[in-house]
Chain A
């Protein structure tokens, strides 16, 4: 039977290969051999092709198993697919967007190459530079100094999971032509006899200009919270590589499920906001400004598709899931922590009493 998944294994010892963060080669952690990305790519290109064909064949026919088990509902099976681990033979269940995963039984990194078909091949990949250990260290650092963190949260805290994931991103390049109209004012205050006169002059200010933006990221996965993804920006694009699957072993990887067309709106919002900020920044010597009219036109927009590395850490506290994310390249760490309401009340009361006493003493000294 043909293989429907491909495990990247060391040609020397047969152990799983991994792309280690910060390295430029694919490594075997067992025998220590390192292989050029291109070598691994060539080595497994054929296997990936065969695996894709095998999966297609498997879907077209096979054993009649109608009697075994009951029927899954259509909604239950939508988006779920099973694959056979090439290493241990176990069945791996993955959703429709998974393109790289690991076997839940033997931990073998597994590529699902048939998932590449019918979708755009990423143009770029930003390799992982931060390790799982660094992600855990960053989480501990994130806890530090958080006065409202429940003691139980840190004392009994166990990570439900820590996953390295390549998230699909659309990168928008755009030359922008923008214009804006502002109503501004400036004031002059002077004494005239027994009066203080405030002379306020109003102006209509028109500005237009051009600017160029490069690789504004918008995540292409509905599973990933857009706010989290924007919070871990920016990525250092100088380290971005032309896409190859050789960077994927050892991590999960998703293909996009929000296409570039549907992601334009978010990129446009950010470009518009920046362009108007640039134009308003040219208003000099005015005390206040109010935007009354504007347009921003994208002249020459281009979109690229890339996979970006993210460490996702999840934990549970009082039946609520807490998710933290770390930029797998820069280490920027973001998340929401639970708030101990008792501690919040305590600090509020302390600050209330302290501030009241200090202010009363000051007021009494000055006015009493």
Chain B
């Protein structure tokens, strides 16, 4: 019931608040918030069309200035499902809400396999957020497109989404060998110890008369207290703080 209500609310919100987007159906740039100049809009549109020719991925930039009842991520996913769904190899939407100062990059299932939520969207956020903070939406759009091009090119070249560079296999091998040596030493010691069960008796607890122990005096005296202060680990510089990722959608976003 709750889920049904949520879907209805999302649909209603889409209908009421995205008049601009509806009007600009299939347009690559739906600047409802009016953050781009006509020249910038034309330039960004051209770049998106060039990107489509190169990667066959449908890309849209949508700006709104509304109080929406759902999260930006759910809103952007709705745009993907309802409007921007004609890309040959997948679709993605870069949404900016200048009212809430939130951004979100939504990807469909196909693009989710090319641009990972963990690394890909975060790397886009790193490129987008500094410009958004300066209210430079044109630069944010250009950086978004440039970053997306790099991620898609990497995927097309390597057959897997770009990810953080892993630890060197040599270092991993070194760690594994040390662990193996410790395991060999430990197992050998265990096997050797199993060959000998002759051990001295260090105490006489077995021979204590049952319930014969009586505590006669118990006194605890506080001496002093020491304080140690350690700075907390700083919050990471991650830009992605929200995600509406599910089985059919990827992506992430945050504030600016």
How does the 8 Å CB contact mask read for B178-192 relative to A, with 1 for contact and 0 for none?
011111110110011
Measured CA separation A335–B172 after assembly (Å): 43
Interface set, chain A 330-366, CB cutoff 8 A to B? 334-339, 344, 347-349, 351-357, 359-360, 363-364
| Contact status of A194 and B180, CB under 8 A, knowing A179-B217, A348-B187 | no
How does the 8 Å CB contact mask read for A167-188 relative to B, with 1 for contact and 0 for none?
0000000000001000110000
| Contact status of A356 and B198, CB under 8 A, knowing A349-B184, A351-B188 | no
**Cβ-neighbour of B194 out of A146, A234, A363, A368 (below 8 A):** A146
Q: Closest A residue to B223 by CB, please name it.
A: A202
**Residues of chain B at interface, number, CB under 8 A:** 56
**Please, which residues of chain A bring their CB within 8 A of the CB of B192?**
148, 339, 344
How does the 8 Å CB contact mask read for B66-79 relative to A, with 1 for contact and 0 for none?
00000000000000
| Contact status of A335 and B198, CB under 8 A, knowing A270-B203, A368-B172 | yes
How does the 8 Å CB contact mask read for A134-165 relative to B, with 1 for contact and 0 for none?
00000000000111110000000000000000
Q: Is B4 an interface residue (CB 8 A)?
A: no
Q: Is A77 an interface residue (CB 8 A)?
A: no
Q: Are A209 and B213 in contact (CB under 8 A)?
A: yes
Q: Are B209 and A204 in contact (CB under 8 A)?
A: no
Secondary structure at the B interface, as helix, strand, loop or mixed, is: mixed
Q: Is B225 an interface residue (CB 8 A)?
A: yes
Q: Are B181 and A335 in contact (CB under 8 A)?
A: no
Q: Are B218 and A352 in contact (CB under 8 A)?
A: no
Q: Are B230 and A195 in contact (CB under 8 A)?
A: yes
| Contact status of A368 and B169, CB under 8 A, knowing A195-B229, A206-B219, A270-B201 | yes
How does the 8 Å CB contact mask read for A187-210 relative to B, with 1 for contact and 0 for none?
000011011111111111111111
Q: Are A351 and B225 in contact (CB under 8 A)?
A: no
Q: Closest B residue to A273 by CB, please name it.
A: B203
Measured CA separation A339–B205 after assembly (Å): 33
**Please, which residues of chain A bring their CB within 8 A of the CB of B181?**
352
Q: Is A214 an interface residue (CB 8 A)?
A: yes
Measured CA separation A344–B193 after assembly (Å): 12
How does the 8 Å CB contact mask read for A242-272 relative to B, with 1 for contact and 0 for none?
0000000000000000000000000100110
| Contact status of A194 and B172, CB under 8 A, knowing A202-B224, A273-B202, A351-B183 | no
Nearest CB of B to A24, in Å: 26
Measured CA separation A205–B130 after assembly (Å): 59
Measured CA separation A202–B225 after assembly (Å): 6
Q: Are A200 and B228 in contact (CB under 8 A)?
A: yes
Q: Are A368 and B198 in contact (CB under 8 A)?
A: no
Q: Are B202 and A212 in contact (CB under 8 A)?
A: no
Nearest CB of B to A306, in Å: 13
Q: Is B1 an interface residue (CB 8 A)?
A: no
Q: Are B208 and A351 in contact (CB under 8 A)?
A: no
Q: Are A277 and B205 in contact (CB under 8 A)?
A: yes
Q: Is B87 an interface residue (CB 8 A)?
A: no
Q: Is B221 an interface residue (CB 8 A)?
A: yes
Nearest CB of A to B144, in Å: 29
Q: Is B206 an interface residue (CB 8 A)?
A: yes
Q: Are B184 and A352 in contact (CB under 8 A)?
A: yes
How does the 8 Å CB contact mask read for B217-256 relative to A, with 1 for contact and 0 for none?
1111111111111111000000000000000000000000
**Please, which residues of chain A bring their CB within 8 A of the CB of B217?**
179, 206-209
Q: Is B38 an interface residue (CB 8 A)?
A: no
Q: Is A114 an interface residue (CB 8 A)?
A: no
Nearest CB of B to A152, in Å: 15
Nearest CB of B to A224, in Å: 12
| Contact status of A227 and B200, CB under 8 A, knowing A148-B195, A209-B213 | yes
**Please, which residues of chain A bring their CB within 8 A of the CB of B223?**
183, 201-204
Q: Are B227 and A226 in contact (CB under 8 A)?
A: no
**Cβ-neighbour of A335 out of B197, B201, B207, B232 (below 8 A):** B197
Q: Closest B residue to A368 by CB, please name it.
A: B166
Nearest CB of B to A186, in Å: 10
**Please, which residues of chain A bring their CB within 8 A of the CB of B159?**
none
**Please, which residues of chain B bring their CB within 8 A of the CB of A356?**
176-177, 179-180, 183
| Contact status of A205 and B176, CB under 8 A, knowing A348-B184, A352-B184 | no
Pairs A-B, 6 closest by C-beta atoms: A356-B180, A355-B183, A360-B176, A212-B212, A352-B184, A270-B204
Listed by A's residue number, 30 A-B pairs whose Cβ atoms lie within 8 Å are A192-B229, A198-B227, A200-B228, A201-B224, A204-B223, A205-B219, A206-B220, A207-B218, A209-B215, A211-B208, A214-B207, A216-B204, A225-B198, A227-B199, A230-B201, A234-B206, A270-B202, A273-B203, A274-B205, A277-B203, A277-B205, A278-B208, A335-B198, A338-B195, A347-B191, A356-B179, A359-B179, A360-B173, A360-B176, A363-B172
Other contacts beyond A226-B200, A360-B175: 4, CB < 8 A: A200-B225, A203-B222, A225-B198, A230-B199
